[in-house]
């Protein structure tokens, strides 16, 4: 098992967990694994002179400026992350995996904060500024603009509107048109 150096580009918890696996596989004692781990840390990352156990090492790595940079970099990546639907060539499984990995690396454990980032990454939703609470309370509407004239069925050349009703904390709301589509028999075949 190859053991990588710690250079600040991995979460300290993940690196320490890898150290623990390495220790278990090679049956090393705590002192030897601690010495080995310290030797594998990039010399540009300054550590306290006396570290006596793995937990102290973990805390020292988390207290280093390199970890703050790592965490903030992952937070920015999370802010820029955009979901691409599978219909446009995206991969939902990879997106979810990447989303949770970035949350982990940025140390965003709060579910409400994760919801906010997830909302902003979704198509159509990220273009509107509203809180994560509002994001989950939105009412999506899919209706034909002239449906009442056709007794509940669509006819060729009807216009279908996809809109979202957004309610805000101050009880104000608005309906935002997302897409308007002209319905024809040809659309059924595509």
> Are the CB atoms for 29 and 16 separated by under 8 Å?
no
What pLDDT shows up at residue 30? 87
Q: Of all residues in the chain, what percent carry a pLDDT higher than 90?
A: 42
Instruction: List, for residues 96-119, the tens digit of each pLDDT value.
Output: 999 999 999 999 999 889 888 988
pLDDT score for 16: 95
Beta carbons of 132 and 115 less than 8 angstroms apart? yes
Q: How confident is the model at residue 121 (pLDDT cuts 50, 70, 90)?
A: confident
The distance from CA 169 to its chain's CA centroid, rounded to whole angstroms, is 25
Q: Which of 93-102, 113-122, 129-138 has the highest mean pLDDT?
A: 93-102
Of 88, 30, 32, give the one whose Cα is nearest residue 55: 30
Q: Cα separations (Å) of 82 from 20, 137, 162, 163, 180?
A: 34, 21, 21, 21, 23
Please indicate, yes or no, whether the overall pTM of this predicted structure exceeds 0.85. no
Q: What mean pLDDT is predicted for residues 140-154?
A: 48
Can you give the residue ranges of every domain in the chain?
A: 12-63, 138-190
Confidence of residue 123 (pLDDT cuts 50, 70, 90): confident
* The two structure tokens encoding residue 69: 């940079």
Structure tokens of 25? 């596989």
Average pLDDT for residues 84-103, to the nearest whole number? 90
């Amino acid at each position: 098992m190859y053991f990588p150096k710690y250079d600040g580009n991995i979460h300290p918890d993940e690196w320490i967990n890898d150290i623990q696996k390495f220790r278990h596989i090679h049956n090393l004692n705590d002192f030897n694994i601690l010495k080995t781990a310290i030797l594998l840390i990039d010399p540009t990352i300054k550590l306290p002179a006396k570290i006596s156990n793995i937990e102290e090492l973990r805390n020292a790595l988390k207290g280093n400026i390199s970890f703050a940079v790592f965490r903030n970099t992952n937070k920015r990546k999370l802010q820029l992350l955009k979901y691409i639907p599978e219909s446009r060539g995206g991969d939902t499984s990879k997106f979810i995996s990447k989303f949770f990995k970035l949350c982990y690396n940025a140390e965003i454990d709060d579910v409400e904060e994760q919801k906010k980032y997830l909302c902003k990454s979704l198509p159509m939703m990220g273009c509107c500024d509203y809180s994560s609470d509002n994001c989950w309370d939105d009412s999506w509407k899919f209706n034909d603009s002239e449906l009442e004239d056709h007794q509940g069925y669509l006819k060729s050349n009807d216009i279908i509107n996809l809109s979202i009703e957004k309610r805000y904390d101050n009880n104000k709301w608005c309906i935002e048109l997302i897409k308007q589509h002209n319905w024809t028999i040809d659309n059924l075949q595509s």
